[in-house]
Amino acid sequence: MSTEARLEPAPKSDGDDVAAPGMARRRESPVPTLRVRFRSWRQRGLARRVLVSTHRWSALLLGVFLVAQTTSGAVLLYHADLFRAANTTFYEHADSRREISPQQAIAAVSAVHPDFSPSWVSRDRGILAVGNSERTFVYAVDPGTGKVNGGLRLDEGFLSWLANMHRCAFTCPEYAGYVPLLAKPVPSVGFEWPKGTNWGRLIIIVLAVLLLMLTIIGAFTSSLALRRALRGLRTRARKNRFARDYHLHQVIGIVAVPFLLLWAFTGTEFFLPAVEKAWLTVTGGHQQSKDVAFPASPVPAGTPDIGVDKAVAAALRATAGEFRYVLVPDRNANYYQVFLASSYASRGERLFFSGDRLVYVDQHDPTHVMTRLDDEQPVANAVYYKVLEQAHFGWAVNGWWRTIWLAFGVVPLGLMITGGSTWLVRRRLLRRKRRAGRPDVVTE
């Protein structure tokens, strides 16, 4: 076939679009779509390089704060255990078949400390704890003898300081280390922040989003599968420091992805209600209202308060469970809030406040009750509130099982060490190659 036979004749048109004699007009290539462009970027490694740079520099700039947040959370997994171990005399109690009631525990504390205003009573590891509304001070009462063992401040000590750092970024006045400056509200910047957002909460939100981003990018950009990374770790661990730390970084990062995603997601939704609402909407649930609609029962004026013991008895009649703690009425709520532990006990290992079933009892009428049970919610709500949220703290399992949480909780510290080590080696090699006039390439 001749050359002329393969050429397509150019159509005639006005102006400069007319093809020269004997020349065929070239076909215009179609404009590449976004999908084609992304595929091209991926083939050339551009997308991976952008993601790796984002992962690396965000971790270098904010990694220390993120590791402080995650490591403090790992320690606080054993907050209740450490508190009880450090205050053994506080938990001393005599074994007795007949024990005093929560109402009698309040009376015992009031008799010894008449200026103290009890706000809640909790059954915790064999004692009855009586605390104030600010949750800054608590007395222990031996239920077998009715003796007040003593009191403890909850807003002092290292554990209180650590809890304030991890949970509130030093903005909770009931913990040690409160910083008023961080408790100031964040000003509006063209949109309204969620209600109650202060500088401390904003710091925690940023760190939670950073952990979520680093985990997703790290899993997406991993160039080695788990099996290949493990093989590389075995075969190259003794070769050089860069190879060892690079493969170790990948192995522990891949293995820890589920726990890191869990902590990042739940840590974000604690302070951003929109995340919780979006998750429940997608999974078929609905967001629980935090506003309580429990009107008081119409009773004659002067009707006496039923008392703590009758409120607890009414709650136990309303639903099955084991009594854990009760909040007495105050100026904000004219009803008792009784918390019971179900058979699942999703908060069973929490300090003082370990109930997972809530029953409202009228202050003057023990027959007027309202239960707030997860069993009455959709499956998506039960999974979210009783599994995902509680898995963040590890309250549903004992201390031995919680060592799994502890191991994954210190993973970010290991990732910072191995990632920082590879970055330092990379920089040193790049500096040497620049001096030698070689390309800026470091083989992974």
pLDDT digits (tens, 9 = 90+) for 181-220: 999 999 988 788 888 899 999 999 999 999 999 998 888 7
pLDDT at 13 over 80: no
Q: What is the CA radius of gyration of the chain?
A: 31
pLDDT at 224 over 50: no
**On the CB side of 58, how many CA atoms lie within 13 Å of its CA?**
19
Q: What are the residue ranges spanned by the domains of the chain?
A: 309-376
pLDDT in tens, 286-338: 877 777 778 888 888 889 999 999 999 999 999 999 999 999 998 888 899 99
Domain 309-376, classified CATH 3.40.50, yes or no: no
Contact 242, 268 (CB under 8 A): no
Contact 264, 211 (CB under 8 A): yes
**On the CB side of 392, how many CA atoms lie within 13 Å of its CA?**
21
Q: What percent of the chain has pLDDT over 70?
A: 83
Pick the range with the lowest mean pLDDT from 93-97, 280-284, 372-376, 417-421.
372-376
Q: Which range has the top average pLDDT, 25-29, 269-273, 437-441?
A: 269-273
Q: What percent of the chain has pLDDT over 90?
A: 49
pLDDT at 139: 98
Pick the range with the lowest mean pLDDT from 60-64, 124-128, 353-357, 373-377.
373-377
Contact 418, 426 (CB under 8 A): no
d(CA 206, CA 169): 12
Pick the range with the lowest mean pLDDT from 89-98, 105-114, 169-178.
89-98
Q: Looking at this protein, which amino acid is placed at residue 200?
A: G
d(CA 349, CA 355): 10
pLDDT in tens, 362-377: 999 999 999 876 556 7
Burial category of 41 from C-beta neighbours within 10 Å (exposed 0-12, middle 13-18, buried 19 and up): middle
**On the CB side of 188, how many CA atoms lie within 13 Å of its CA?**
5
pLDDT at 105 over 50: yes
Mean pLDDT, the chain, rounded, equals 84
CA distances (Å), 444 to each of 42, 320, 427, in order? 18, 59, 13
pLDDT at 237: 55
* Ramachandran area for residue 345 (φ above 0: left; ψ -120 to 50: alpha; else beta): left
